[in-house]
Structure formats: C-alpha cells, structure tokens
Amino acid sequence: MRKAILLVLFIGFLIGCQKVPLTGRRQLALVPNSQLLPLSFNNYKEVLDTSRVVRSGDQAAMIKRVGSRLQSAIEDYMRANNLSSRLEGFAWEFNLIQSPEVNAWCMPGGKVAFYTGIIPICQNEAGVATVMGHEIAHAIAEHGNERMSEGLVANGLLQGGQLALGVMSQGQRSQTNALLLQAAGVALPLGYQLGRALPHSRKQESEADQLGLIFMAMAGYNPNEAVGFWQRMAQASGGNKPPEFLSTHPSDTRRIRDIQAQLPEAQKYYRAR
C-alpha cells in the first residue's frame, strides 16, 4: 500500500506539479479547477445560507472595500506577469459574517468570509488587509488544491493515477468535502499528521504570510501594520496554544520574526494611497 501511494505521488509530481507565484515553491496540484471550483462555490454558498451575513453598515463596506483593492492589485500583478491563467474561474466574493469567532478564510476561487469576531483585533483597515491578504494568498497559492491532492492520495481516492471525483461514493464525497473545508485534511493516522500534514500546513501558513504581506502592499496598505496585528493576535490567544510541532500554524514568536524579516521585500511593492 505504501509503495502504491509513493508511486501515485511520484506520477502526480510528474504530471501535476506547478510553482507557487512569487515564492517559486513546487507543489502538487492534481485537482483541475473544473472540479475543484464547483465544490468550493457550493460549500461557500452553504456557509452563507446557514450564517448571519452582514449586508450593510461600515464594517461590511470595509470588508468589501479591502477585498476589492486586493483583488484589483492581484489581478494587475498576475496579468503583468503572464499568470492570469491562475485566476481562471475565480468569482470573487467578500462577505462579513456575524459571529464571535476570531476567524477569516478564503476558499478556492476567491470566496472570502470574514467574521466580526476578528475585527476588534484588526483595529483598522490595514489590519483587515493583513488578514484578508493572508487568506487570499492561500487561494492564489492553491493551497487547498495541494492539500486536497495529498489527502486524496493518502486516503486512496485516486484510481489508476486519475481523479475519481466523478465516481465517488457518498462517503467518499463527504470525505473530499472535508478535505476542502478543513484545508488541513481529514482525520489521518497520527504518524501522517505529525510527519507530513502538520509540518506541510505550517509551511503553507508561512507562505501565505509572505504572499499576504506582498498583496496588502500591492493594494496600498503598509505591510508594517502586519506585525502589530500578529502581536495582538498572540496576546488575544493568551498563550493557550499547543506546541508548534502539534500545530498547523507557526508559533507566534516564529511567525512575527519571519514577517519582520520579510518586510523589506514587501516594502518594494508598497505604494501608499
């Protein structure tokens, strides 16, 4: 079984390997957007249908304004660098959800959800841009596709080196949706989680930090503001986090240190508005 998984992974890297914009990291991306984006859009709609979406007011307007600026800057950059194909099928949305949850996310295809619970920590529009730039970076870097591809391989949901999305059982479809929604994979054996899933997720989080800094700078938000936001996030968590090797995110100390090191590069893209 292990040899079969390794063989599929090797074949996958030969036919489904691509590079992340700006960082150049090679990644596995086996799920075509023709299959991934409909799943993403349906799941996003289900979340909105079962949530209290804030349709008006200053906060909702701010979320849409920041999203629009990021979208425009990213599209301009991708167009200028012959990378527009990475955005094919994107249908951007920026919605604010009434919830005490301190969270925000972006599904493949540019579907952003921002929770009211994180806005006090953002404090201002630059803080919102920090969070949203990071979350959009996951979509631009196709981290969801990458995690789904590896999860599908690990869970035997590939057949003969080809995606089996069209012939999955109901249980397999639920498992695939969980891969997409959770972004960190399904409940895999602990050895896999510690040895592959969690470290790889931390790598993606750090990559999203790096790209997010550049994206917010492109959109006219000072990337220096990101340091203050992550410091506030660390304070808000109260230090109640698992050890880094058991977490899908870098430690607060490492994240802030890495962001500070990346600021000079991000500043090259910054043009104040």
Q: Is 158 helix (H, G, I), strand (E, B) or coil?
A: strand
Q: Which residue's structure tokens are 């799941």?
A: 43
Angle subtended at Cα 138 by Cα 186 and Cα 82, rounded to the nearest 5 degrees: 135
Work out the number of other CB atoms within 10 angstroms of the CB of residue 199: 14
What gap in Å lies between CA 181 and CA 191, rounded to an integer? 22
Q: 121 with 229: CB under 8 angstroms?
A: yes
Choice among 93, 135, 146, 205 that is catalytic:
135
Q: For residue 189, what are the contacts with CB-CB under 8 A and spacing of at least 6?
A: none
**Helix or strand holding residue 149 (H, E):** helix 143-154
| Coil vs helix vs strand at 112 | strand
The SS3 of residue 95 is strand
The answer for residues whose C-beta is within 8 angstroms of residue 92's C-beta and 6 or more apart is 67, 71, 110, 111, 112
Catalytic residue check, 135: yes
260: which 2 tokens?
């500070």
- What dihedral angle (degrees, nearest 10) is formed by the CA atoms of 112, 116, 121, 127? 40
Residues 199/103, Cβ–Cβ less than 8 Å: no
Catalytic center residues: 135
